[in-house]
């Protein structure tokens, strides 16, 4: 174990981070198992190494109901993520992985897309509260891959990417999905839509519909995304929008 409260440990780790930055060329940090030490300690490392980007892994359990599924209200879960960023410094480069969105999205794509509209009408994950500080993802090396600890439904992975690559937050693409699953071209199309229309971490999200079989949202008035098996949604799509990407139970205009 590392004693992060030990001043010598802090000094040596800060020196190592600055060496990685100055000599090797890294410009961002990922804080693994960030709930294992205080946000005050993470703040020391960030403040003294000044990365351009930092993201923390704060993986805690969602609130579940008697049916074994996540409760609709996950405010306590996303508040924990917000609190970490607040303590480290909300005006700095610190962000957190949006595990709240990951957990809700895992279940929503299995015929419960109504979950993607929170009780306040906004996105139910951290992106609904503080999208500029939320790093969204479908899977990572812990949840998916060989560890397979909390995997996204494999036949619906592209629905997950259609969501995070069109929505606010900073989306993160999983290496395995991009290089090993044969999804590179589909993911690339969604990335190009995001880039072309300037969708960013603080883009404005308007949820048009959120039913069991349909989720429809407009982002910045430029992009519309549909998840779910409901096919005919032409009456809900404003004039002038053309399909830019589509796949199994998703489409982007």
Q: What is the mean pLDDT of residues 81-99?
A: 97
User: Residue 170 maps to which CATH number?
Assistant: 3.20.20.80
Residue 136 has a pLDDT of 98
Q: Give domain status of residue 178, yes or no.
A: yes
121 within a domain of the structure (yes/no): yes
Distance of CA 124 to CAs 13, 225, 249, Å? 36, 17, 21
170 vs 232 pLDDT, higher one: 170
Rounded percentage of the chain residues whose pLDDT exceeds 90: 95
Q: What's the mean per-residue pLDDT of the chain?
A: 96
How far is residue 171's CA from residue 109's CA, in Å, rounded to a whole number?
A: 18
Look at residue 157 and tell me if it is in a domain.
yes
Stated pTM of the model: 0.96
Task: Calculate mean pLDDT across residues 82-92.
Answer: 97
Residue 7 lies in a domain: no
Catalytic positions are 32, 57
Is the confidence at residue 100, as pLDDT, over 90?
A: yes
Confidence band for 146, pLDDT divided at 50, 70 and 90: confident
pLDDT at 1 over 80: no
Give the Cα separation of 141 and 86 in Å (integer).
26
Please state the rounded mean pLDDT for residues 21-37.
Answer: 96
- Is 232 a member of any domain? no
> Has residue 17 been placed in a domain?
no
What pLDDT is recorded for position 21?
A: 97
User: Cα dist. 227→15, 113, 198 in Å?
Assistant: 47, 8, 21
31/42 Cα distance (integer angstroms): 8
Q: Decide if 80 is inside a domain.
A: yes
**The predicted structure's pLDDT at residue 147:** 87
Element (H, E) at 215: strand 215-219
Give me the number of domains the chain comprises: 1
Tell me the CB-side half-sphere exposure of residue 130, using CA atoms within 13 A.
Answer: 20
Lowest mean pLDDT among 35-39, 160-164, 170-174, 179-183: 35-39
Among 87, 20, 6, which residue's Cα sits nearest to residue 50? 20
> Can you give the residue range of the structural domain that contains 122?
58-203
Flag whether 83 is in a domain: yes
CA terminus-to-terminus distance, the chain:
50
Could you read off the pLDDT of 178-236 as tens digits, one per residue? 999 999 999 999 999 999 999 999 999 999 999 999 999 999 999 999 999 999 998 99
């Amino acid at each position: 174990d590392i004693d992060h409260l030990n001043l010598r440990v802090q000094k040596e780790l800060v020196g190592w981070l600055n060496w990685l930055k100055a000599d090797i060329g890294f410009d961002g940090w990922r804080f693994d198992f960030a709930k294992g030490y205080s946000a005050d300690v993470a703040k020391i490392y960030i403040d003294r190494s000044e990365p351009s980007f930092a993201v923390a892994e704060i993986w805690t359990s969602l609130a579940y109901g008697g049916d074994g599924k996540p409760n609709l209200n996950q405010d306590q879960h996303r508040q924990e993520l917000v609190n970490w960023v607040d303590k480290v410094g909300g005006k700095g480069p610190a962000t957190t992985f949006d595990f709240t969105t990951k957990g809700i999205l895992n279940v929503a794509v299995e015929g419960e897309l109504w979950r993607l509209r929170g009780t306040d009408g906004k996105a139910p994950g951290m992106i609904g509260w503080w999208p500029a500080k939320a790093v969204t993802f479908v899977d990572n090396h812990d949840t998916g891959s060989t560890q397979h600890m909390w995997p996204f439904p494999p036949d619906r992975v592209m629905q997950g990417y259609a969501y995070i690559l069109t929505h606010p937050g900073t989306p993160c693409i999983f290496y395995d999905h991009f290089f090993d699953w044969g999804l590179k071209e589909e993911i690339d199309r969604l990335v190009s839509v995001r880039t072309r229309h300037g969708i960013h971490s603080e883009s404005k999200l308007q949820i048009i519909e959120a039913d069991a079989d349909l989720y429809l949202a407009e982002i910045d008035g430029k992009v519309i995304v549909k998840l779910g098996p409901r096919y005919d949604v032409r009456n809900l799509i404003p004039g002038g929008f053309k399909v830019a990407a589509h796949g199994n139970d998703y489409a982007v205009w």
